[in-house]
A and B are shown apart, each in its own frame.
Chain A
């Protein structure tokens, strides 16, 4: 096991051997020789400190001291070897294991670090630095366990607990609990004073508190810089809190200052690079990420993000000026959009993405009285891992889309081709964030921004209907909704598996409730309060003239009135669902229809996987009850059902029933869930052309052609036909020639060519 660890680290060391050397050490058992060098470092005397560490590395007889000196001097490779050697020499020394674990932590190899911390605790279960190591790993993962480890250190080893207080302070501040964070920092300051430890990190966190309170000119920053003029964390630490509260522009400014005074603060270069990307400043971002990589080649997010930037050459950047305002329309300003779409998908997706972006800007500008000041950048990633790297530097994130202000990044339909992913709703959701973030200078709390986005999905989005997953209904039944003033906690630090989605839905319901009771102006007034730096409790009192407690009570009554009946019937609903599916499996369609109808009656909003509407529609089809089948699928669609095959079947049935306009509507819906299926464009193109909408048909046939279908001649011919109907003879001729170039004997194309060129 130890060999694997060493091999893993050395593998990374093969890339480079430096990592950020500036680390504040709080261990009270640190060797005095090292402490002497540390002090030079903390005072900003970098050269002297480096000389001091290198001398120790060369001259010390104690391998443990040499290992620490190597690490502090930035030579990770040497440090790794020396720690390995030290463990052989001092197998019972818990401190060496923890120090080596810290090295793994600094090089982003948390699992190896945890193993070493646990080995240390195996040797001495009371060794506080080992427990603290676990706390730091957990804190980095936003795990609730971090607080428990930190509290354990404080309770059992109060004199060694300075860093534990810092862990608690950070987690409190991340949760927005400024008061608790401040109290922890005060205790940390006392300990620093008592034990003559540097307060630099504490000052940086104190400055962060000032920043969170709106004071951007903190005395604490000045104090930190007075101790060490090259202490970049004085800016980088507050910048972190800007980042987690989505104030990326302000974070960039602080991070620029951080790297200005401490050019080898690689973590700040990395953060700066990532945040510049969020502002669509690609070239500058790449420069900082390259610098960060040179200094810290162990960071997967840095490497991943640089690779992502390289892959941008496979994307098309499509700039769109604002559409002209319709005659008689209000003079709302649309600043336009920039689409970054994969080159393979851009020719198909561009018109649909642009249309939805423009429609959302028009809708939200009216509803929220805010006009975007910059073009909105919309990126769609066909590879989900690329999207995940874009937003977090790491693959495997379970999100669909993220908004950084005027930049939206999301999965493209290809990324989730097998999941019924309704990309149109995701884009609509994210575009609402653009408005809530920018209208408040990014001061809107997470819950409210998500709430507005979810509410807009339900009320104005392309997928109509309130869409509440079963896990959320179960949470309502178990009374798991949080008080509104604490709802952010459900997003940031969930305590049970489904809490994030539960929080999304609760936020959406709250916004729905506000809009219903106080009008759309209630939501706008909340945004105004957030823009004025009010917290949730204050915003509710000032905007809605109601106490948060009363709000929670009234909201609970609203939820009960809206969903109480469904929640109370979850078990009978489940039973009816199961019976419907069993009857369908047995091909007893009459029974299947009856059970499905019962399930629909008990929970009419359920349109997810296995929806009873689909069972019922299938039953009607098998029984030859076409009209009832159409009616069932129509209701399914009205509630937000969007299975593309079901919608295509509905469109076919409507078409056969001569309900051409309805069929067209349904087909247009399919584009928002399955835009990369050629048959959708083919069918829709035909329907649009038949309806006399030749220009719209052109869009569909262009998309079809862009997919390089098997029968290219046919695709060119169809497009030519649409162009001819749109009276664009030049383009019609061009595509007819392309069709006939492939298939010179294509009779229909020949006939149309003769008509077009004569």
Chain B
């Protein structure tokens, strides 16, 4: 049985088949994902280039992940306080409770011990004002990625129910220019962040990937890390931030062909059984577990083979533009 969150909405935790069914029933029919990406003021050419590049990469991912008209990108001189406020206010008007919102802030932030500010051309915007604007947006599922320096300052103030909050630093006192945005962008574009190989990258997978890349980059340089990414909120594993090419054709085929839809449903049922088996692993001998796992996985592989045969061939795990967003893609929580 399919779980039916639409693209961008939280994909369903498949802790058990029954839970999946329950969530499928509750899932909204027309949830949309809205993206807002802000590339702040670089100050120096080197930083401005880097921020522009990161913003551009993120925008590309966003545009292939949801429809163009739901993606706002503010960068360079256009990324003013006024434009940002306007953008967030427009989201307040457009987004519905069932929709999802992803906001990514790239650039320099500052913190004076009390107030966090996002550096923008012209007047900056402070953290409290941003918090109010974000809270006013009805979308209940929100992902806020503050990849700026000193972003850890907002960890507590921006926390909210239904919101996954990611910051590049662990406090407002990590003030060096950050690398997180670059690695976050890479995570969304890169198949290797897709740990469970399902063609969908969740906020959790992207965070794990980017955090690790940040730490590795400092280690390779032999320097002390000046940023320590943080994540708050419990829905990251269910928030789809990007789709890889492999996920899309099946969705399209399932939508168009009842036979494929039945196969997809069969595949999802097997997914649930595998998940349930994993939960019982401690009660079984390793041999029995592997035998049963093999039985299910072989069935899953055969079913997947039939689904693949019913759709155009694509490179299995390579990133690429999405053909048709909006069809359910089973998602499992990261182990």
Q: Mark B271-290, 1 if CB is under 8 A from A, else 0.
A: 10010001000000000001
Interface check A711, CB cutoff 8 A: yes
Partner of A745, one of B192, B196, B209, B278: B196
Asked if A706 is an interface residue, CB under 8 A from chain B, the answer is no
B208 in complex: contacting residue of A710, A741, A746, CB < 8 Å: A710
B310 smallest CB distance to A (angstroms) = 15
Q: Does A750 lie within 8 Å of B297, measured CB to CB? A: yes
Known: A742-B335, A747-B304, A748-B316. A753 touches B196 (CB 8 A): no
Contact in complex: B195, A711 (CB < 8 Å): yes
Q: Which residues of B contact A737 (CB under 8 A)?
A: 290, 293-294, 297
User: Which of B195, B246, B297, B317 is the one whose CB lies under 8 Å from A753?
Assistant: B297
Interchain CB contact under 8 A, A747 and B297? no
Q: Is the CB of B195 within 8 A of A712?
A: yes
The answer to whether A754 has its CB under 8 Å from any CB of chain B is yes
What CA separation (Å) do A714 and B300 show in the bound complex? 18
A713 interface residue (CB < 8 Å to B) = yes
Chain A hits for B270, CB < 8 A? 744
B246–A743 contact, CB under 8 A?
no
Report which of A744, A748, A749, A750 forms a contact with B274, defined as CB distance below 8 A. Answer: A744
Alpha-carbon distance between A396 and B87 when the two chains are bound, in angstroms: 59
- Give the chain A neighbours of B274 by CB distance below 8 A: 741, 744
> Contact flags (1/0) for B294-335 with A, using CB distance below 8 Å?
100110111011001000000011000000000000001001
B197 contacts the other chain (Cβ, under 8 Å)?
yes
B199 contacts partner chain A, Cβ-Cβ < 8 Å: yes
Specify which of B196, B197, B290, B332 lies most central, judged by the most chain A CB atoms within 10 Å of its CB: B197
Query: A733: shortest Cβ distance to chain B, in Å?
Result: 7
Whether A742 contacts B196 by the Cβ 8 Å rule is yes
Also in contact, A753 and B301, with CB within 8 A (given A710-B209, A743-B197): yes
Once bound together, how far apart are the Cα atoms of A731 and B317, in whole Å? 25
Which among A710, A713, A751, A753 has the greatest number of chain B C-beta atoms within 10 A?
A: A710
Give the residue of A418, A734, A750, A757 whose beta carbon is less than 8 angstroms from that of B300.
Answer: A750
Q: Which residues of A contact B298 (CB under 8 A)?
A: 753-754, 757
Interface of B is mostly: helix
B294–A710 CB distance below 8 A: no
> Interface majority SS on A: helix, strand, loop or mixed?
helix
Q: Does A255 contact B (CB under 8 A)?
A: no
B192 touches A711 (CB 8 A): yes
Report B255 CB to chain A, min CB distance, Å: 19
Q: Establish whether residues B212 and A710, one from each chain, have CB atoms under 8 Å apart when the complex forms.
A: yes
A window 715-758: CB within 8 A of B = 733-734, 737, 740-751, 753-754, 757
CA distance A748 to B315 in the complex (A): 10
How many residues of chain A have a CB within 8 Å of chain B?
Answer: 24
Evaluate contact between B195 and A743: CB separation under 8 angstroms. yes
Closest to A736 in B: B297
Q: Identify which of A740, A742, A743 gathers the most chain B CB atoms within 10 Å of its CB.
A: A740
For the complex, give the distance between the alpha carbons of A751 and B293 in Å.
15
Given contacts A745-B199, A745-B304, A746-B197, A714 and B294 within 8 Å (CB-CB): no
Name the A residues within 8 Å of B16 (CB-CB). Answer: none
Residues of A within 8 A of B304 (CB): 745, 747, 750
Chain A residues within 8 Å of B192, by CB: 710-711, 714
Given contacts A710-B208, A750-B304, contact A745 B297 (CB under 8 A): no
Question: In whole angstroms, what is the CA distance A753 to B222 when docked?
Answer: 41
Chain A residue with Cβ nearest B295: A757
Q: Which residues of A contact B278 (CB under 8 A)?
A: 741
Mask of A396-424 contacts with B, CB within 8 angstroms, 1/0: 00000000000000000000001000000
- Whether B222 contacts A741 by the Cβ 8 Å rule is no
Contact A743 B212 (CB under 8 A): no
Give how many B residues have a beta carbon under 8 Å from the other chain's beta carbons.
30
Whether B198 is near chain A, meaning CB under 8 Å from some CB there, is yes
Residues of B within 8 A of A713 (CB): 195-197
Contacts of B197 in A (CB 8 A): 713, 743, 745-747, 749
In the bound complex, what is the Cα–Cα distance between A757 and B294 (angstroms)? 9
B189 to chain A, nearest CB (A): 15
Least CB separation from B216: chain A residue: A710
Partner of A743, one of B196, B208, B209: B196
Chain A residues near B300 (CB, 8 Å)? 740, 744-745, 750
Within 8 A of A (CB), among B193-216: 195-199, 208-209, 212
Nearest B residue to A739 via CB reads B197
Q: B residues within 8 A CB of A714?
A: 192
Q: In whole Å, how far is A536's beta carbon from the nearest beta carbon of chain B?
A: 43
Given contacts A737-B294, A741-B293, contact A751 B196 (CB under 8 A): no
Instruction: Give, as a whole number of angstroms, the nearest-CB distance from B125 to chain A.
Output: 35
- A744 near B316: Cβ-Cβ < 8 Å: no
* A14–B57 CA distance with the chains assembled, in angstroms: 63
Is A754 a contact of B293 with CB atoms below 8 Å?
A: no
Whether B294 contacts A747 by the Cβ 8 Å rule is no
Shortest A2–chain B CB gap in Å is 39
Please measure, in the bound complex, the distance between the C-alpha atom of A754 and the C-alpha atom of B299, giving whole angstroms: 9
- B212–A754 touching, CB < 8 Å: no
Determine the distance from Cα of A743 to Cα of B196 in the docked complex, in whole angstroms. Answer: 4
Name A743's closest neighbour in chain B (CB-CB): B197
Chain B nearest CB, measured from A652 CB (Å): 18
**Docked complex Cα distance between A744 and B302 (Å):** 12
Residues in B whose Cβ lies below 8 Å from that of A745: 196-199, 300, 304
- Shortest CB–CB separation between residue B331 and chain A, in angstroms? 10
**Which residues of chain A have C-beta atoms less than 8 A from B199's C-beta?**
745
CB neighbours (8 Å) of B297 from chain A are 737, 740, 744, 750, 753
* Chain B residues, CB < 8 A from A753: 294, 297-298, 301
Q: Does A744 contact B294, Cβ atoms closer than 8 Å?
A: no
Complex Cα–Cα for A747 and B313 (A):
12
- Across-interface contacts of A754 in B (CB, < 8 A): 298, 301-302, 305
Which residues of B approach A to under 8 Å, CB–CB? 192, 195-199, 208-209, 212, 222, 246, 270-271, 274, 278, 290, 293-294, 297-298, 300-302, 304-305, 308, 316-317, 332, 335
A–B pairs, 7, beta carbons within 8 Å: A710-B195, A737-B290, A737-B294, A740-B297, A744-B198, A754-B298, A754-B302
With A743-B198, A748-B317 known, 16 other A-B pairs at CB within 8 A are: A710-B192, A710-B208, A713-B196, A737-B290, A737-B294, A741-B274, A742-B335, A744-B274, A744-B297, A744-B332, A745-B197, A745-B300, A747-B317, A753-B298, A754-B298, A754-B301
The 5 closest A-B pairs by CB, nearest first: A750-B301, A743-B197, A746-B197, A747-B316, A743-B196
